Amino acid sequence: MLMTQAIEHDFATSMVEYMPPVGAWIKNGCLNVNKCSAAGAVIGGDTFIAGGYNPPNGFFNTMEKFSADEVHGDEFKTPMSTARSNLIAEAVNGKI
């Protein structure tokens, strides 16, 4: 299970992953921009974070991809057509 973790002014700056065998949450990557209300999904071991909100920057139309061995995500060059927050995402057949 992956979650974003709010640690600065109520906005997520990183992701955390729950590890059932040890019963602990571990840090797993840093978001490129602090945000809240983003959606996440996992495809083939890669985590995708879509949209979100941050008052100085407003709503985001970005998608970030995190691989298991990366500290920072890669932002897709083509943004989503509409900036979004408070959304839900799900991976189905390799698509979000």
**Model pLDDT for residues 23-63, shown as the tens digit of each residue:** 888 777 777 888 888 898 888 888 888 999 988 889 999 98
Per-residue pLDDT band for 10 (boundaries 50, 70, 90) equals: low
For residue 81, being part of any structural domain is answered with: no
- Match 């974070």 to its residue by tokens: 49
What pTM did the predictor assign?
A: 0.77
How far apart are the C-alpha atoms of 18 and 50, rounded to whole Å?
20
Q: How many domains does the chain have?
A: 1
For residue 6, being part of any structural domain is answered with: yes
Per-residue pLDDT band for 6 (boundaries 50, 70, 90) equals: very low
For residue 90, being part of any structural domain is answered with: no
For residue 80, being part of any structural domain is answered with: no
Task: Provide the domain limits for residue 21.
Answer: 2-75
For residue 61, being part of any structural domain is answered with: yes
For residue 94, being part of any structural domain is answered with: no
For residue 39, being part of any structural domain is answered with: yes
